[in-house]
Amino acid sequence: MDPELYYIKQKFTLGAWKSIIDQKLDESSPDFQQLKLYQAQAYIALNKPTEALKLLDPNNTSLSVRALRALARYLSKEGENALEELRDLCVEIEEEGIDEKEKSLVKVAAGTAFAREGEIEEALETLGAGTGVENLDTLALVVQIYLSINRVDLAKRECDRARKWAEDDLLLQHIEASIGLLTGKDSYSNPHSFYVEQLNNPSLSSGHLLVSRGVTHLLRGELPEAQSDFAQAQKPEYGDPADALAGAVVAAELAGHKANVADLWSKLSQEYPDHPLTKSVLEKDAEFDSFASKYEVPPLAASA
């Protein structure tokens, strides 16, 4: 693998998406199209699907390009049309002679959209969950889906299988760290060590890793350290600060900083209404109001 392509792949794995889109690509490079796909995926990871669409040629018939364009359109609120195109692409990749890398990217793009749509079973089936497929990109998404529905047991099973053929791959280490955040084994020592080690790399700038380490500090009860990581991850050079802002809200609440909570929550809810934390809190607010409206306050007991 070309050194530039290898380096960008590593940066993508570790969430250094902003540095990927800021990188000037050499159009004469034999890996130019592959590098361009990583840039498009980085835009999508930073919640900038319209920028990904600008980058990807609509006339390109490559399965990878078509899949990423469909995912970007879905995230841009095109909905069902984009989902149907991804379903069609999943059928196309079953034909003979299709490159394995293209198959993988199509499955990841489709699985991402299906999971976001709430079609969990379709996403897992598309990604080959439980079938023993030896592909870390699809496995990483399978594990994230399992963790999102609190099936840590199934996530660990997939990871255990992967150890037999993926050895010590960086993405596998990242997957193991994600599982460690949910299990809390050995005081979160695995994820903590992984994030600290990667952030010590002077050539890497990843807001995603900072947020992940901040979450680890949060779970270990290390609030000042968590707040420091979340604050740093909100800097412009790291790209989309939504997750860092959400982490800062939680850390401020746990630290009892009520004034900070109000300010941070106001910013999160106004600027990122689709963030999972925003949606979850607002849904619970609505549920509380609904239940409260049905509750009749009993009259005061008459004094004797």
Determine the average pLDDT of the residues in 70-79: 90
Determine the average pLDDT of the residues in 62-70: 97
Residue 302 banded pLDDT, cuts 50, 70, 90 = low
What is the average pLDDT value for the chain, to the nearest integer? 92
Cα 217 to Cα 202, 222, 291, distances in angstroms:
21, 5, 35
Determine the average pLDDT of the residues in 55-75: 95
pLDDT at position 301 over 70: no
pLDDT value of position 4: 85
Q: What's the CA gap between 199 and 206, in Å, rounded?
A: 8
Q: What's the CA gap between 252 and 95, in Å, rounded?
A: 53
Token pair for residue 136? 């870390």
pLDDT at position 80 over 80: no
Determine the average pLDDT of the residues in 267-286: 93
pLDDT at position 304 over 60: no
Segment (H or E) for 32: helix 32-45
pLDDT value of position 197: 94
Q: Which of 156, 163, 178, 90 is nearest to 128 (CA)?
A: 90
Determine the average pLDDT of the residues in 13-27: 91
Q: Which of 269, 287, 286, 270 is nearest to 278 (CA)?
A: 269
pLDDT digits (tens, 9 = 90+) for 166-181: 887 999 999 999 999 9
pLDDT at position 2 over 90: no
pLDDT value of position 216: 96
pLDDT at position 208 over 80: yes
Backbone angles phi, psi at 131, to 5 degrees: -100, -5
Residue 131's Cβ-count burial label (10 Å; 0-12, 13-18, 19+) is exposed
Question: Which amino acid does the sequence have at 22?
Answer: D
Q: Which residue has the tokens 């412009």?
A: 236
pLDDT value of position 168: 78
- Sorted by where each begins, the domain ranges of the chain are 128-183, 195-294
pLDDT digits (tens, 9 = 90+) for 93-113: 998 888 999 999 999 999 999
pLDDT digits (tens, 9 = 90+) for 253-265: 999 998 899 999 9
Pick from 3-12, 19-28, 229-238, 291-300: least confident? 291-300
Determine the average pLDDT of the residues in 74-85: 88
pLDDT digits (tens, 9 = 90+) for 41-54: 999 999 999 999 99
Q: Which residue has the tokens 């990188």?
A: 23
Does residue 284 come out as left (phi exceeding 0), alpha (psi in the -120 to 50 range) or beta?
A: alpha
Kindly give, in sequence order, each residue whose CB lies less than 8 Å from that of residue 148, ignoring residues fewer than 6 positions away: 115
Does domain 195-294 bear CATH number 1.10.287?
Answer: no
In SS3 terms, 183-218 reads as HCHHHHHHHHHHHHHHHCCCCCCCHHHHHHHHHHHH
pLDDT value of position 297: 77
- Between CA 96 and CA 75, with CA 82 as vertex, the angle to 5 degrees is 120
pLDDT value of position 1: 65
Q: What's the CA gap between 210 and 79, in Å, rounded?
A: 32
Determine the average pLDDT of the residues in 14-37: 91
pLDDT at position 159 over 90: yes
Q: What's the CA gap between 225 and 264, in Å, rounded?
A: 18
